[in-house]
């Protein structure tokens, strides 16, 4: 198959491209900057969510996996650009017979507080699930992203700030399971909406403890109210200092909802690594 991947230089995009090439697929890299090195069976096409009216030549492409997303910050409200750019690509794919796979999130629901969750949910509602595949991912355990920022912070910091008691429900999914599932369901020409995350529900505190164990640290928790954590993050962001969690992450955390994923996993025909297995796969 010939599969295009937007955001092919991002966290999930890079892992997906590597996996697809290992499965002998041809891959079209859709990203803003041309890679310094392009491997065999991969071609580059300039892509930018900021350019929704750009005409793309995706001739011969069987499927497109949309991982690209412009992050929302206090100085950059990218929501309209994400919606307009994503829907332009979706309509192009539908019109040209290209299977469209959209990566959404478990934080995307009608009560979402974060810009990320709200607009991923809005995009889900704008798409016809009979014409595309929508995968709602849990917390992705990988070498980049939120998990890795937490992991690196726990290795360095003597204590851990935890918001709201740390009892928020968390359902992880290993990045290796994400990319192998995408490859499988794209091959199967599957459509519909599926949640991809382990069925077991952990708490945020349990997640930090599991990460700390692998980082060789036993976290010392400091419980702080949401509003105070938010104020602290805003100051850190204004000073452009590194911090593992953004206000967007915090808002997503505040409205996390536990979901029974057993039926979706059965229909997808996948078995996922649990939290400890996922972390073990990363650190060894």
Which residues lie below 8 Å from residue 26, measured CB to CB, with a gap of 6+? 1, 2, 3, 41, 42, 43
Contact 11, 144 (CB under 8 A): yes
pTM of the model: 0.89
Over the stretch 164-173, which tens digit does the pLDDT of each residue have? 788 889 999 9
Band of the pLDDT at 73, cuts 50, 70, 90? low
- Higher pLDDT among residues 141 and 151, named by residue: 141
Residue 215's Cα: distance from chain center in Å? 23
Indicate if the pLDDT at residue 272 is higher than 90: yes
CB atoms within 10 A of CB 269: 11
Indicate if the pLDDT at residue 75 is higher than 60: no
pLDDT value of residue 165: 82
Q: Where is average pLDDT lowest: 7-21, 191-205, 218-232?
A: 218-232
First to last CA, the chain: 32
pLDDT value of residue 71: 76
CATH 3.30.870.10 matches 2-283: no
- For 45, how many CA atoms within 13 A lie in the half-sphere containing its CB? 17
- Higher pLDDT among residues 167 and 264, named by residue: 264
- Tell me whether residue 237 is exposed, middle or buried, using C-beta atoms within 10 angstroms of its C-beta: 0 to 12, 13 to 18, 19 or more: middle
Band of the pLDDT at 284, cuts 50, 70, 90? low
pLDDT value of residue 80: 81
User: What is d(CA 186, CA 27) in angstroms, rounded to the nearest whole number?
Assistant: 13
Average pLDDT over residues 142-166: 80
Over the stretch 204-230, which tens digit does the pLDDT of each residue have? 889 888 888 877 778 788 888 877 877
Band of the pLDDT at 196, cuts 50, 70, 90? very high
Indicate if the pLDDT at residue 242 is higher than 80: no
Indicate if the pLDDT at residue 237 is higher than 80: no
240 phi/psi in degrees, rounded to 5 = 55, 40
Indicate if the pLDDT at residue 78 is higher than 70: no
Contact 201, 169 (CB under 8 A): yes
- Higher pLDDT among residues 63 and 226, named by residue: 63
Indicate if the pLDDT at residue 243 is higher than 80: no
Which of helix, strand or coil describes residue 100?
A: strand
Note the residue count of the chain. Answer: 284
Band of the pLDDT at 244, cuts 50, 70, 90? low
* Spans of all domains in the chain: 2-283
Dihedral-angle region of residue 165 (phi above 0 means left; psi in -120 to 50 means alpha; beta otherwise): left
Indicate if the pLDDT at residue 266 is higher than 90: yes
Indicate if the pLDDT at residue 273 is higher than 60: yes
């Amino acid at each position: 198959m010939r599969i295009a991947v937007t955001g092919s230089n991002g966290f999930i995009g890079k892992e997906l491209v590597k996996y697809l090439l290992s499965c002998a697929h041809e891959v079209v890299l859709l990203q803003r900057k041309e890679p310094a090195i392009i491997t065999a069976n991969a071609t580059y096409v300039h892509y930018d969510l900021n350019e929704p009216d750009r005409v793309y030549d995706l001739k011969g492409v069987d499927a497109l996996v949309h991982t690209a997303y412009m992050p929302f910050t206090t100085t950059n409200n990218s929501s309209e650009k994400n919606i307009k750019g994503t829907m332009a690509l979706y309509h192009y794919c539908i019109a040209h017979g290209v299977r469209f796979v959209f990566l959404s999130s478990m934080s995307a629901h009608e009560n979402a507080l974060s810009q990320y969750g709200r607009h991923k949910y809005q995009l889900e509602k704008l798409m016809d699930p009979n014409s595309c595949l929508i995968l709602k991912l849990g917390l992705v355990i990988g070498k980049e992203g939120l998990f890795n920022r937490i992991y690196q912070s726990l290795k360095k910091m003597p204590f851990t700030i935890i918001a709201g008691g740390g009892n928020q429900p968390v359902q992880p999914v290993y990045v290796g399971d994400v990319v192998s599932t995408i490859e499988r369901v794209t091959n199967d020409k599957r459509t519909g909406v599926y949640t991809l995350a382990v069925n077991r529900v952990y708490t945020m505190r349990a997640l930090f403890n599991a990460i700390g164990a692998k980082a060789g640290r036993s976290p010392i928790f400091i419980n702080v109210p949401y509003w105070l954590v938010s104020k602290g993050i805003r100051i850190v962001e204004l000073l452009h200092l590194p911090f593992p969690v953004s206000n967007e992450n915090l808002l997503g955390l505040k409205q996390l909802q536990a979901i029974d994923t057993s039926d979706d996993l059965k229909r997808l025909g996948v078995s996922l690594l649990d939290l400890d297995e996922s972390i073990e796969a990363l650190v060894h």
